[in-house]
Structure 1
Amino acid sequence: MADTYDFDLFTIGAGSGGVRASRVAAAHGAKVAVAEEYRVGGTCVIRGCVPKKMLVYGAHFAEDLVDAQRFGWDVEGKIFDWPRLRDIVQDDVTRLNGLYTQTLDNHGVTIFNERATITGLHELTLASGEVVTAKYILIATGARPHVPEFPGSEHGITSNEVFHLEAIPEKVLIAGGGYIANEFAGIFNEFGSKVCLMNRSDQLLRGYDEALRDRLLQISLTKGIDFRFNALFEKIEQIEGGKLRVHMTNYEPCEVDLVLYATGRVPNVEGLGLETAGVEQGARGEILVDRFSKTNVDHIYAVGDVTDRVQLTPVAIREGQAFADTVFGGTPTTVDYSCVPSAVFSHPPIASVGLTEGEARNTLGSVKVYQSDFRSMKNVVAGRNERSLYKMVVDAATDRVVGIHMIGQDAPEILQGFAVAVRAGLTKADFDATVAIHPTMAEELVLLK
């Protein structure tokens, strides 16, 4: 295809969305290049959901080793070695970085390990000074952690740095109420830190079903995590011994070893040349696109977190695939955002798909809600009082299941299959007619009365 231009497609950013779009476009016959100034793989693989999930696995052993005694196993000399886990996780991140790079190489995609800026019509300038042209430009630069501004804010870290800590802090303050904050609260708590989670509002996990949010708060308090709601930073001071004194509204100051910001993410749009290209942006800097991920400039597209539509890795991958199929595959394709499943790898984890009870009542009017509030067999034997909660929301007029929300062991693993059922529009009667797999936790979803 590339005759007038150096490349048919030039992708800025080699994260999940950019890699998928580039690979598929190349498979359709396009001549493709990618510019990535850090490491191929993006936030999820390098400094996000993949290494974080590995830490979640590591954290689970804290309780599993205790529970093992109730199952007949005596485990002596339990010692947690953070540097060992940290380094093993980083080794696997390096392995994945290599696999993503190999995938692009295998598809003939040219990789520029440097920053690229749009400097003219169909023109990009690399950090080295080299100028290239492309028929289409795809922006897939993702997002980065938001750092609040206040006196002493430079003393805190973000999720980018947390994977490289020299040691596990004795006391840690986590700012935020979203999934990143709650996941790291569970991780640090299980690794032995005294955790305080502060949030500017009085709610955790906005957007998730209220019953699940309340249950996670209850369980987290039982596990020893402290919460400070309606709290805003005033200042952070560094005091003797390298500790930090955190001043906040509505509470007394607290002294901690580490402050972790989990206060949202902002699109990476600086220095891309968007103004030069005339690309329109939203209030938070996000790149505005249509349903085919095209900007207001005909040859420039954007996918993933930089568009601030749904900030989830699988969504970015779907968007990248749809873009490539649309532009280079001759098959106009869009992404359906109406029934996207999600998970919070808290301790215990949450999983959700479809409408919450509140959303369903507001949009459908008459709904039926089915719940199962139970203690898993594992927790019964282990002597733990921690209870799981499964919730199903049904459109009363059609019997269609419009939402499933769960908190408990393996909830994300269980929900993936049931998300297909919700997406397919199955009814409560379809669930009732399905034979249970016994004894499992998942069977609760086909036994709800």
Structure 2
Amino acid sequence: MAGYDYDLFVIGAGSGGVRAARVSAAHGAKVAIAEEFRVGGTCVIRGCVPKKLLVFGAHFAEDLKDARRFGWNVPDCDFEWTTLRDNVLSEVDRLNQAYTQTLTNNNVEIIHQRATVTGPHGVRLADGREVSAKVILVATGARPDVPSCPGHEHGITSNEVFHLEALPKRVLIAGAGYIANEFAGIFHQFGSKVTLINRTDVILRGYDESIRDRLLQIAMMKGIDFRFHAEFRGITKDKDGCLTVEMTNHEPITVDCVLFATGRVPNTTDLGLENAGVELDAKGAVKVDEDSRSTCPSIYAVGDVTNRIQLTPVAIREGHAFADTVFGGNPWRVDHENVPHAVFSHPPMAGVGLTESQARQKLGSVKVYQSDFRAMKNVLAGRNERALYKMVCDGVTDRVVGLHMIGPDAPEILQAAAIAVKAGLTKADFDATVALHPTMAEELVLMR
């Protein structure tokens, strides 16, 4: 557009930024995207993708043991961390190249520099060059939050965990959200002694209480140690390289690694947004409207930097909606209701819609159906883990307002079931569907 170097300048080449840049360019916009690290963002480079690969690797610990009950003469197997680590990092490299190629194929200019905002239409690059754009999109994501206790520099975050030189024999994980519980399961299956500490006595706040309690029960049964009402007092590095952690209400503990999984904060520090009058909330997230537009009309934001729902598929949809609305002549908005989510713990859990407590607060009259069972594979394997499926219904209309589950393949099962919740189907619709036997998923239509 006349008077500007670009129609769109995107800051941050993560999932949301890449989608917005690619689709905007396909609509005919002249687009540049700036990324100071690697194309792909948190999910691809240091988040859900490499973590899920570690989850796959960790599952073999139990699968190899279970195989003996199914007639396979599996010997005792050793685990080699560096092999899995290097293979995972190689896959990250491939995805980084694939994302880069996608942008290049769509004529998006990639600028491998940090970019900051100088005004409503201005951007300054790390090399000092200044460019202008009719529209600026902030898609800088979020970063791990690290406690400010003495010795915090001795700990690592989910950014560094994928690059560990060796598998720690003893690891302390701080936090009780999805990242903490996922890595607790991963490290435990790899053979590490895992201790998880949390300031309260609640794990996975916001998830259905019955499901998260079941995960806690199973995790403790597996041997993961939980220390609740524990806050950091300090971390000391000993002469032998071990770390001694002091905390409230508990005795000190000596470990080989401390992993901070204490939340994530939006990446807006020193981004220059104040130069354009972009307002942030108390947590540093960019305030946006339903069209992802900030308080500056020419600046938009999508993904984790807005702190709406910190999920990759949400960021991708927000980026796509932005591109279609601003450059494609096809305005639409992302519906942030009934977004499915999963925790790739051991076993995994997944949910969509209202939890039981949320439904009771919002609707008053609620009917809850449950199925508490052992998966067929676990029965023959002699594994005493029980799956739990829970359906929450509006007590007046019979509409299913929430589905929550924990057990093998729960996220895979929930994805299809989430469509039913999104569509507003009723318990009677589930009851009228013939079960697919023998499967775990059939429990969804058999609950009474």
Aligned to 1:320: 319
Please list every run of at least 4 consecutive aligned residues from structure 1 whose deviation after the TM superposition is greater than 2 angstroms: none
Aligned to 1:232: 231
Aligned to 1:431: 430
Aligned to 2:293: 294
Aligned partner of residue 9 in structure 1, secondary structure: strand
Aligned to 1:281: 280
Aligned to 1:349: 348
Whole-angstrom distance in 2 between the partners of 1:67 and 1:401: 36
Instruction: State the Cα distance separating 1:118 from its structure 2 match.
Output: 1.3
Aligned to 2:159: 160
Whole-angstrom distance in 2 between the partners of 1:368 and 1:419: 18
Residues 1:411 and 2:398 aligned together: no
Whole-angstrom distance in 1 between the partners of 2:105 and 2:22: 9
Aligned partner of residue 325 in structure 2, secondary structure: helix
Structure 1 residue identity aligned to 2:148 = E
Aligned to 1:146: 145
Whole-angstrom distance in 2 between the partners of 1:240 and 1:8: 56
Instruction: State the Cα distance separating 1:120 from its structure 2 match.
Output: 3.0
Instruction: State the Cα distance separating 1:331 from its structure 2 match.
Output: 2.0
Instruction: State the Cα distance separating 1:77 from its structure 2 match.
Output: 4.7
Aligned partner of residue 163 in structure 1, secondary structure: helix
Whole-angstrom distance in 1 between the partners of 2:130 and 2:111: 12
Aligned to 1:16: 15
Instruction: State the Cα distance separating 1:430 from its structure 2 match.
Output: 0.6
Structure 1 residue identity aligned to 2:141 = G
Instruction: State the Cα distance separating 1:292 from its structure 2 match.
Output: 0.4
Aligned to 1:362: 361
Aligned to 1:253: 252
Instruction: State the Cα distance separating 1:68 from its structure 2 match.
Output: 0.5
Deviations 1:242-265 (A, max 9, x none): 111100000000000000000000
Instruction: State the Cα distance separating 1:76 from its structure 2 match.
Output: 2.0
Contact 2:50 2:88 in 1 (8 A): yes
Aligned to 2:182: 183
Matches of residues 201-216 of structure 1 in structure 2 within 5 Å? 201-216=200-215
Residues 1:447 and 2:422 aligned together: no
Instruction: State the Cα distance separating 1:355 from its structure 2 match.
Output: 0.5
Further displaced range: 73-82 or 153-162: 73-82
Whole-angstrom distance in 1 between the partners of 2:279 and 2:242: 44
Aligned partner of residue 3 in structure 2, secondary structure: coil
Further displaced range: 179-188 or 71-80: 71-80
Deviations 1:263-284 (A, max 9, x none): 0001111221111111111101
Structure 1 residue identity aligned to 2:14 = G
Aligned partner of residue 33 in structure 2, secondary structure: strand
Residues 1:114 and 2:113 aligned together: yes
Instruction: State the Cα distance separating 1:442 from its structure 2 match.
Output: 0.2
Aligned partner of residue 214 in structure 1, secondary structure: helix
Instruction: State the Cα distance separating 1:9 from its structure 2 match.
Output: 0.2
Further displaced range: 117-126 or 237-246: 117-126
Further displaced range: 76-85 or 253-262: 76-85
Structure 2 residue identity aligned to 1:94 = D
Deviations 1:333-362 (A, max 9, x none): 111111100000000000000000001111
Structure 1 residue identity aligned to 2:77 = K
Structure 1 residue identity aligned to 2:274 = E
Structure 2 residue identity aligned to 1:106 = N
Whole-angstrom distance in 2 between the partners of 1:191 and 1:69: 19
Aligned to 2:6: 7
Aligned to 2:399: 400
Aligned to 2:388: 389
Instruction: State the Cα distance separating 1:78 from its structure 2 match.
Output: 1.0
Aligned to 1:376: 375
Instruction: State the Cα distance separating 1:129 from its structure 2 match.
Output: 1.7
Deviations 1:340-386 (A, max 9, x none): 00000000000000000001111111111000000010000000111
Aligned to 1:81: 80
Whole-angstrom distance in 1 between the partners of 2:115 and 2:63: 47
Aligned to 2:59: 60
Structure 1 residue identity aligned to 2:86 = D
Aligned to 1:266: 265
Whole-angstrom distance in 1 between the partners of 2:408 and 2:119: 52
Instruction: State the Cα distance separating 1:81 from its structure 2 match.
Output: 0.8
Structure 2 residue identity aligned to 1:109 = V
Count of residues in correspondence between the two structures: 448
Whole-angstrom distance in 1 between the partners of 2:118 and 2:204: 40
TM-score between both structures, scaled by the size of structure 2: 0.99
Whole-angstrom distance in 1 between the partners of 2:103 and 2:79: 38
Deviations 1:182-217 (A, max 9, x none): 000000000000000000011000000000111000
Q: Which runs of 5+ in 1 are unaligned?
A: none
Contact 2:120 2:299 in 1 (8 A): no
Instruction: State the Cα distance separating 1:241 from its structure 2 match.
Output: 1.4
Further displaced range: 127-136 or 422-431: 127-136
Contact 2:139 2:303 in 1 (8 A): yes
TM-score between both structures, scaled by the size of structure 1: 0.99
Aligned partner of residue 160 in structure 1, secondary structure: coil
Whole-angstrom distance in 2 between the partners of 1:251 and 1:131: 53
Aligned partner of residue 160 in structure 2, secondary structure: helix
Instruction: State the Cα distance separating 1:332 from its structure 2 match.
Output: 2.0
Whole-angstrom distance in 1 between the partners of 2:81 and 2:116: 39
Instruction: State the Cα distance separating 1:123 from its structure 2 match.
Output: 1.4
Whole-angstrom distance in 2 between the partners of 1:240 and 1:160: 26
Structure 1 residue identity aligned to 2:420 = A
Aligned to 1:135: 134
Structure 1 residue identity aligned to 2:408 = Q
Whole-angstrom distance in 2 between the partners of 1:366 and 1:26: 49
Whole-angstrom distance in 2 between the partners of 1:124 and 1:397: 54
Contact 2:120 2:296 in 1 (8 A): no
Q: Which runs of 5+ in 2 are unaligned?
A: none
Whole-angstrom distance in 2 between the partners of 1:269 and 1:245: 33
Instruction: State the Cα distance separating 1:132 from its structure 2 match.
Output: 1.1
Matches of residues 327-346 of structure 1 in structure 2 within 5 Å? 327-346=326-345
Aligned partner of residue 166 in structure 2, secondary structure: coil
Further displaced range: 140-149 or 119-128: 119-128
Instruction: State the Cα distance separating 1:121 from its structure 2 match.
Output: 3.8
Instruction: State the Cα distance separating 1:409 from its structure 2 match.
Output: 0.2
